[in-house]
């Protein structure tokens, strides 16, 4: 029987990379999100079974975050339908220090399916592919919690660990708490990126209230505002400051440093500012 891997989050930072690794290894994949056919939307459980058909294992990246109040119910329903579809093994991307995420992990661990939890720290790629890229490009990153250290992880490491979990039977039924090798503040990260890009980029500490008001003005959905408040005022209190060895445990090699991530991101051109000539075209 062909083993096909369902990937929830085709266009996401980790899902895209997990799919690349499986395809490079000659494996069948079905990577889905709201914009694929079949489509997968966490808000439309009636359509999940269609996406699951023919798959025997799954990489699951929930949206927007396992910390949100409806996440546990969604994961429980996903597992119920996965069993009907014949999925035998689920690798769940989770977050650290979040009560809701821990509950969702427990639901999977007790499901009777083969499982893995890849419990990740904040992604380094938030600075190059996520909500912090605009600040990097504009030269000013304004955030609350500037002095709380966090061991940011390179999502290429997360994808390597998820791929290993999906393809190596010896890793099944384990939690891998994956972080970068060093705890850095947002301010430290901005300084490293400024150094790598040779640009003047400043970190500006602001209050959580100012930060959330700015997000609200951008028209972000209520759920995302709730999440940002939770992440910056509750979870980002230093509880996650200690690096963990999940990358080494799964892969037998150290996690990528933030400096190496920044060097790689810079080389990809993602932080290259448009030249005036290009802007006029
Ligand atoms: N960012 C971090 O630092 C961090 C740290 C630890 C854990 N995590 C976990 O990583 C996951 C998300 O990571 P991310 O925020 O960086 O996003 P992401 O993986 O980059 O995924 C973004 C993609 O998700 C898809 N999507 C959005 N809403 C969806 C929905 N309702 N149903 C299905 N697909 C949807 C969108 O593609 P379409 O438009 O095609 O649907 C979008 O392109 C969360 O589970 C979070 O807990 C994140």
* Nearest atom within ligand 1 for CA of residue 36: 40
Q: How far is the CA of 9 from the centre of ligand 1 (A)?
A: 7
pLDDT, tens digit, 9 for 90 and up, residues 131-160: 999 999 999 999 997 689 999 999 999 999
Residue 280 pLDDT: 57
pLDDT, tens digit, 9 for 90 and up, residues 197-214: 999 999 999 999 999 999
Using a 6 Å cutoff on CB, does residue 130 contact ligand 1?
yes
The predicted model scores a pTM of 0.96
pLDDT, tens digit, 9 for 90 and up, residues 161-182: 999 999 999 999 999 999 999 9
Using a 6 Å cutoff on CB, does residue 115 contact ligand 1?
no
Q: Which domains are delineated in the chain? A: 4-268 (3.40.50.720)
What whole-number distance in Å separates Cα of residue 191 and Cα of residue 68?
31
Q: How far is the CA of 164 from the centre of ligand 1 (A)?
A: 21
Q: How far is the CA of 232 from the centre of ligand 1 (A)?
A: 18
pLDDT, tens digit, 9 for 90 and up, residues 239-268: 999 999 999 999 999 999 999 999 999 999
Q: How far is the CA of 119 from the centre of ligand 1 (A)?
A: 15
Using a 6 Å cutoff on CB, does residue 223 contact ligand 1?
no
pLDDT, tens digit, 9 for 90 and up, residues 89-135: 999 999 999 999 999 999 999 999 999 999 999 999 999 999 999 99
């Amino acid at each position: 029987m062909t083993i096909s891997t369902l990937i929830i989050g085709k266009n996401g930072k980790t899902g895209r990379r997990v799919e690349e690794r499986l395809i490079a290894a000659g494996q069948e994949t079905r990577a889905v999100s709201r914009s694929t056919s079949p489509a997968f939307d966490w808000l439309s459980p009636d359509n999940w079974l269609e996406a699951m058909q023919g798959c025997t294992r799954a990489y699951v990246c929930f949206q927007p975050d396992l910390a949100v109040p409806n996440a546990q119910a969604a994961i429980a329903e996903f597992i119920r339908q996965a069993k009907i579809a014949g999925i035998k093994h689920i690798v769940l991307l989770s977050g650290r220090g979040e009560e809701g995420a821990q509950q969702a992990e427990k639901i999977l661990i007790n499901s009777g399916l083969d499982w893995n939890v890849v419990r990740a720290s904040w992604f380094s790629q938030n600075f190059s592919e996520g909500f912090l890229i605009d600040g990097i490009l504009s030269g000013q990153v304004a955030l609350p919690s500037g002095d709380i250290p966090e061991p940011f992880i390179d999502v290429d490491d997360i994808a390597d660990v998820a791929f290993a979990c999906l393809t190596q039977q010896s890793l099944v039924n384990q939690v891998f708490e994956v972080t970068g090798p060093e705890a850095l503040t947002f301010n430290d990260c901005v300084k490293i990126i400024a150094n790598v890009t040779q640009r003047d980029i400043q970190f500006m500490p602001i209050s959580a209230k100012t930060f959330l008001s700015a997000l609200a003005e951008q028209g972000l959905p209520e759920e995302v505002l709730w999440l940002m408040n939770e992440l910056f005022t509750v979870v980002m209190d230093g509880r996650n400051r200690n690096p963990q060895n999940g990358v080494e445990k799964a892969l037998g090699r150290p996690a990528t440093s933030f400096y190496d991530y920044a060097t790689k991101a810079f080389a990809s051109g993602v932080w290259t500012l448009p030249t005036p000539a290009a802007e006029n075209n």
